[in-house]
Amino acid sequence: MKKNQTILLVIALVAIGLLTLLFFRNPSKRNDWRPTYKEKSKEPYGTFVIVELLKNYFPGEGFEILQDSLDKRLANDSITNSNYVFVGEALFLDSVELQTLLNFVANGNTAFLSSRMIPEKLLDFAYDEMCEDEYWSDYGSFGDTAVRLNLTHPSLKAATDFRFKRKSEQGTRNYDWSHIDTSFFCEAEFGFTELGLMNDSLINFAKIPYGDGTFYLHATPLTFSNITMLDSNSLQYANRAFSHLTTGKIYWDEYSKMRGSPPPSQRNRALSKDSPLQYVLSQPPLAWAWYLLLAMAFLYLLFRTKRKQRIIPVLEPNTNTSLQFVSTIGRLYFLQNNHKQLALQKMKLWLNFVRERYHLRGVEVDDKFQQKLIIKSEVSEILVGKIFRWHHDIVESDDIVAQMLMEFHQLIEEFYRTCK
């Protein structure tokens, strides 16, 4: 039995050691590779770099990060020649916020939305009524590890396409690249206008006029993440894409990307086709947590195979009932009006107290005993003398009255209060 326990212990220690070694190896390279697009995040798929660039994109015009409802900041009729910018996986707006954004654009401002998912109602309002008979569909998507992007306007189009990859800690990985379906583009005067292409044929950047302003829809927010901004070519692409903004103040929307999952009614559902376990294994912290859980479950099953010992009952500790006994005897003497016996019992309790507290082990209560008690307790000689004289008188008396018992009790209580 001991041999089996030793083997199990060795296996457990080796497993824990290996997991610890794998978990803590190269800690400096363990980053969060999720596409969060948070403005303060310096992780690969945060947006710290692009936010810092946009802060000075129009010098002197101002830059504000929206951390609360759009209705509290954009619902101002005096706002003109301003820009609303959103970069994230999906844009979440309630009905009030949606109307606020529509009014903001209609008043002559610009909205730049770089997202793989656009709210359905936003397209319903922004899309021209003359195109309603056209075939509607979600944003399209296709899987690949990399894509080529470029702008279509002659003054913005680069001689060589800009190449983007979906990188991860394990290297380049497959990714669902979103694009705007051609069914959104019709011959109407106010329909979608193509601004950028993906792989020479798929539209990922478009313009929609609305009121006196313009919506710019960009289906590839990955291009504005921190890891892509490290490349000079990607930086050129971002600069050319944001050149469509109007010279004026920029409102960066951080609030609308942090409120749960998109509702089922949204048109674009370009979500990853990976299973939940595949996603967990693709994130290093979650992967190692999963491996550690499996290892602990394995060890639990191993140790559960051992013979289980019978549960040892909990024994109640012994209790000291001497005080309870004395209290009961005291009440009995009091009810019988036996004041003398009650006084003698109080004297016994008091003598036990002073012997235990001051380590006075003498059997005889003589003058030497009293002097030691006075010195150690720091109680006045008068009080100690009174207690012993009263005790002597009580012993010599055949019986005592209640008043005498009360005064003797008060002397002992005074000693308890004043002793050190």
Q: What pLDDT score was predicted for residue 125?
A: 75
Q: What pLDDT score was predicted for residue 327?
A: 58
Top-confidence range, 40-44, 241-245, 287-291, 347-351: 241-245
Nearest CA to 325 out of 302, 352, 359, 357 is that of 352
- CA 365/CA 356 separation, integer angstroms: 15
pLDDT band at 169 (very low <50, low <70, confident <90, very high): confident
Both tokens of 401, joined, read 């009255």
Q: Which residue has the higher pLDDT, 167 or 312?
A: 167
- CA 260/CA 117 separation, integer angstroms: 14
Q: Give the 3-state secondary structure of residue 203.
A: strand
With a threshold of 0.75, does the pTM exceed it? no
- CA 31/CA 19 separation, integer angstroms: 19
* Long-range contacts of residues 150-155, Cβ cutoff 8 Å, at least 24 apart: 150/196, 150/197, 150/200, 151/195, 151/196, 151/197, 151/205, 151/237, 151/240, 151/241, 152/194, 152/195, 152/196, 152/197, 153/195
The answer for residues whose C-beta is within 8 angstroms of residue 122's C-beta and 6 or more apart is 91, 93, 98, 101, 102
Q: Give the 3-state secondary structure of residue 24.
A: helix
Asked if pLDDT for residue 350 goes beyond 90, the answer is no
- CATH topology for 33-277? Rossmann fold (3.40.50)
Question: What are 104-117's pLDDT values in tens digits?
Answer: 999 999 999 999 88
Residue 420, CB-side half-sphere exposure with 13 Å CA sphere: 8
Question: What are 17-39's pLDDT values in tens digits?
Answer: 665 655 555 544 567 888 999 99
Q: What pLDDT score was predicted for residue 136?
A: 46
Which neighbouring-strand residues pair with 203?
180, 197
Asked if pLDDT for residue 87 goes beyond 90, the answer is yes
User: Where do the structural domains in the chain lie, given as residue ranges?
Assistant: 1-25+283-308, 33-277, 322-418
Give the number of other Cβ atoms within 10 Å of residue 351's Cβ.
16
- Asked if 311 and 371 touch (Cβ cutoff 8 Å), the reply is no
Phi and psi at 274, nearest 5°, equal -70, 150
- CA 385/CA 407 separation, integer angstroms: 14
